Structure 1
Amino acid sequence: MKTVQIDVAIIGAGSAGLPAYRAAKAAGASVILIEGGPHGTTCARVGCMPSKLLIAAGEAAHAASRTAPFGVHIDGSIRIDGREVMQRVKSERDRLVGFVLESVEAIPAHEKLTGYARFIDDGLLQIGDHTRVRARSIVIATGSSPVIPQMYQALGDRAIINDDVFAWSDLPRKIAVVGAGVIGIELGQALAHLGVDVTILGARGRVGPLSDPDIKAYAEKTFSNSFRFEPRAEVEAVERLTDSVQIRFRADSGKLIEESFDYVLVTAGRKPNSDRLELKNTSLTLDLHGNPVFDPLTLQAGTHPVFIAGDANGILPIQHEASDEGRAAGTNAARFPNVVPQIRRAPLVIVFSDPGIAMVGARHADLVPESFVTGEVSFEDQGRSRLMLRNRGLMHIYVDKATRLFLGAEWMGPDAEHIAHLLSWALQMKLTVDSMLEMPFYHPVIEEGLRTALRDSVAALKASS
């Protein structure tokens, strides 16, 4: 068996691992990149990119179905060809994955290994049955996998995860989505817009990432117009039939419902991919789930030269965060023991729904009561939104009473993804609400709704003083 001596070994060649590789090399270290699964990153293969392709198809169908109020009439029915929809999703997905594969192929052969890595001891890895790697520092960037609760595992291929959706050749007739988080909401609504009969079964009233009770209630009501939405459902039993699944659940009303579906799409969260690493062979401190305990600022596991980046650490399972963490982990691994905390960007979460959902900065649930005021705007009568008949939405922004600093926002509304970037920049620049109101606002644009919310927060500050 071959043995390789290296400065930095990076386990995983995804959204965190590839930036970690580049950062470690840029810091002057010798590096080897190890990957046992498919290349191409979760984002490109089965995550953010193919999901946005499916969402784009759903948006096209939805837009075509609501032209009549503009005086634009489509004579006859709108025909959705599920095979054509999925063919475009897969072909464009494959094109995007190809770009990632090209970057991996450009890595010199002696700097990458194929095979699953496992720890022999603290600094020694075995890759498959062919190579051992002795590394001065190690970056764990192995990503995460969907969680499938035990009750759904007996359903065989009728219980699917988001990865499976993008392997379809056609659209199903009827589907149940278990979980009302970001993935469940995005895929569920996209499929509903494409003519699939969709039921989303959430738990404990969750609606995407939202924590503000008023915004959450608004979003729940709005989504109920797109698909059957049961955000407080209690699934009591599931049964595999010949070519379908029967689910018995209790709705929030207390009514017991039994219904069959072609598939159950399980979006019940994700877990770090640490099972294959055999971390028990190390002296790392592990948590109750067998994952390394680490510093969320430096990403370092205790005092060891081991760093956990991306979905593998479960802090912020978002692509741009994984990339940032990969760079930080790669740099710290190369420069160990000179480890520095990562400077994080403003928190930013976007749900690509219709209307969109976004959260910037502090969550409502995490703010100290009485320390802030809330500015509000409804998009239902907002000028540009109404002109385009996209006038659905409610926004709350949070402003610190003492400093007048913008703290965060939660909302549902048109073009939420774009307004979210404006607010994340304002937060990262530590702007006060007064400074934000000094910025230009064109007329007529949806962003004027943001200005209304900012003005409302100033009025709330005045009333609270």
Structure 2
Amino acid sequence: MSRIKTDICIIGAGSGGLSVAAGASQMGADVVLLEGHKMGGDCLNYGCVPSKALIAAGKQAHAMRHQTPFGVTPVDPDVNYAQAKDHVHNVIATIEPVDSQERFEGFGVNVIREFGAFVSPTEVKAGDTIIEARRFVIATGSGPFVPPIPGIDKTTHYTNENFFDLRERPDHLIVIGGGPIGMEMAQAHRRLGSQVTVIEGAKAMGKDDPEMAAVVLDRLREEGIEIIEGEQASEVSEKDGKITVTTSGGSYTGSHLLMAVGRKVNIDKLNLEAAGVEYDRTGVKVGADLKSSNKKIYAIGDAAGGLQFTHVAGYHAGIVIRSALFGLPAKAKTSHIPWATYTDPELAQVGLTEAQAKKEHGINLEVVRFPYHENDRAIAEGKTTGLIKVMVVKGKPVGASIAGAMAGELIGMWAMAIANGLKMSAIANTVLPYPTIAEINKRAAGAYFSPRLFESDKVKKIVGFVQRMLP
């Protein structure tokens, strides 16, 4: 058994762990990085990257079927599902070097390809090596949660971890779970030629603003996706190559089953008790400083039990670097964290939703809106479905919700505004090129100021007075 002493030991080479490793090593810290599975973690191999690549393939097929408004004859595309999956894996392969062991060893990181488990408050065992570190960072991420539905253990089913290896297009895909993963995969497969049924025990896209979610769900239903809400799956079975899901409201039969009901954090094998680290089923218990009950041990990303997004893990990495490397106070917050669902139309959110803002700010809240169908670029491109609404309190945005084309891109301006405490005037004063979809943001800010300028008797009196006084 060999021993290593280091400044920082990171457990998990996903987005958060890699960000800490790269930053800390390049700033002069001695870093050990443990990864027992794939470099790049869930996002690169099973999540964000492959799903967006498959969505892109579906968009191409959909575009070929809907060209009439542009004077181009629509055609029914010949979809080669296996080649679409080749595209997915080519995208992963292209990005892989950025997250590779070789690249991080080039930074000076000691990469050990073993799972780690604590053996004391200051030591982790990985393979035949004991690592003693001044600070540890738990960055183990999360994996798909498969609920114990009767019959599931005897039924062929997929999760995001093996779904992208499927080479034969499903004739009829059944998705259990109406959240972002389920809806993205439902639409991608419908556009690639599969029949699709989504079964959700509560409300589809239930964590999003219901008005915005309705924009997306209406489009999915228009495209032929069957969305069943308010029905819990009570049993699954498989017979003669067919899979049947029985719910409280009936039964649904298809050829393939995708489980997309949520995530579970990957902390079971860490032996956290030996390190004196408190945790529960949602993850490691941490404070705003991301430190656990053992102050030498941080948890970031999904392992920290909060928002489960790749960009949150990257954000957490910056907090840890500030704290662990420089000894400076640093606290994570969530009010400025955006997220997006990459359906078509997309749905994006940052800060408070309308309902949350009403509850928190009451009569001080103003909600301003602007529809896509009044944006010139959206009209030119035939992407007029959707709207933006911004929640404003005393001149500052506290939340923004966007449903429509490029919502994931548009939300960035509001994330910046909220993160930096900017006022609506900062958005209104920004000059944007014409015509762009981004003008929707500026027009939303204009909708906030218009009543103050054009419907104000005070303003009109001032203008009238100035006009009378001017030579």
Partner of 1:97: 96
Q: Distance in 2 between matches of 1:444 and 1:27?
A: 43
Quote how far apart the aligned CAs of 1:231 are. Answer: 3.4
Match of 2:78 in 1: 79
1:141 aligns with 2:131: no
Q: How big is each residue's C-alpha offset from its partner over 1:427-454, in whole Å with a ceiling of 9 and x where there is no partner?
A: 2332222332222244333334334433
Q: How does 1:203-218 map to 2 (within 5 A)?
A: 203-207=201-205, 209-211=207-209, 213-218=210-215
Call closer, same or farther: CA 1:100–1:291 in 2, change over 3 Å. Answer: closer
Worse-matched range after superposition: 198-207 or 139-148: 198-207
Q: Which residue of 2 aligns with 1:253?
A: none
Q: Which moved more, 1:51-60 or 1:22-31?
A: 22-31
In 2, the alpha carbon distance for the partners of 1:16 and 1:448 equals 33
Q: Check conservation: 2:285, 2:304, Cα contact below 8 A.
A: no
Instruction: Indicate yes or no: 2:354 matched with 1:364.
Output: yes
> Mapping of 1:36-115 within 5 angstroms?
36-74=36-74, 77-101=76-100, 102-106=102-106, 108=108, 111-115=110-114
Q: Which amino acid aligns with 1:214?
A: E
Distance 1:449 1:29, change over 3 A: closer
Whole-angstrom distance in 2 between the partners of 1:430 and 1:413: 25
Residue 292 of structure 2: aligned partner:
301
Q: CA deviation at 1:112?
A: 2.2
Moved over 6 A (4+): 460-465
TM-score by length of 2: 0.88
Higher mean Cα deviation, 181-190 or 382-391? Answer: 382-391
Task: Look up the equivalent residue of 2:44 and give its one-letter code.
Answer: A
Report the CA distance shift for 1:455/1:230 in structure 2 as closer, same or farther (over 3 A).
farther
Equivalent residue for 1:411, pick from 402, 427, 450: 402
Instruction: Give 1:461 shift.
Output: 7.2
Structure 1 residue matching 2:236: 3-state secondary structure? strand
Q: Is the 8 A contact 2:402 2:411 kept in 1?
A: no
Task: Confirm whether residue 436 of structure 1 aligns to residue 434 of structure 2.
Answer: no
Report the alpha carbon displacement of residue 92 of structure 1 after superposing the two structures with TM.
Answer: 2.4
Per the TM alignment, residue 136 of structure 1 is displaced from its structure 2 partner at its CA by 1.9
1:378 is aligned to 2:371: yes
In the alignment, the residues of structure 2 paired with residue 18 and residue 157 of structure 1 have an alpha-carbon distance, to the nearest angstrom, of 36
* Contact 2:353–2:399 (8 Å) recurs in 1: yes
Deviation at 1:80, TM superposition (A): 0.8
Q: Is the counterpart of residue 326 in structure 1 residue 317 in structure 2? A: yes
Mark the runs of 5 or more structure 2 residues left unpaired by the alignment. Answer: 458-471
Rounded Cα–Cα distance in structure 2 between residues aligned with 1:300 and 1:201 = 38
Contact 1:19 1:330 in 2 (8 A): no
Distance 1:365 1:198 in 2: 31
Matches of 2:140 and 2:150 in 1, distance apart? Answer: 25
Structural mapping, 1:63-462, within 5 Å: 63-74=63-74, 77-101=76-100, 102-106=102-106, 108=108, 111-128=110-127, 130-151=128-149, 154-156=152-154, 158-207=156-205, 209-211=207-209, 213-226=210-223, 227-250=225-248, 256-287=249-280, 289=281, 291-295=283-287, 297-302=288-293, 304-335=295-326, 339-342=329-332, 346-367=336-357, 368=360, 369-400=362-393, 403-458=394-449
State the identity as a percent.
24
**Counterpart-to-counterpart distance in 2, 1:441 and 1:171:** 43
What is the Cα-based RMSD across aligned positions, in Å?
2.6
Gaps of 5+ in 1: 251-255
Query: What does the per-residue CA deviation read over 1:136-186, in whole Å, with 9 as the maximum and x for residues that have no partner?
Result: 211111111111101177345622111212111232111111112111111
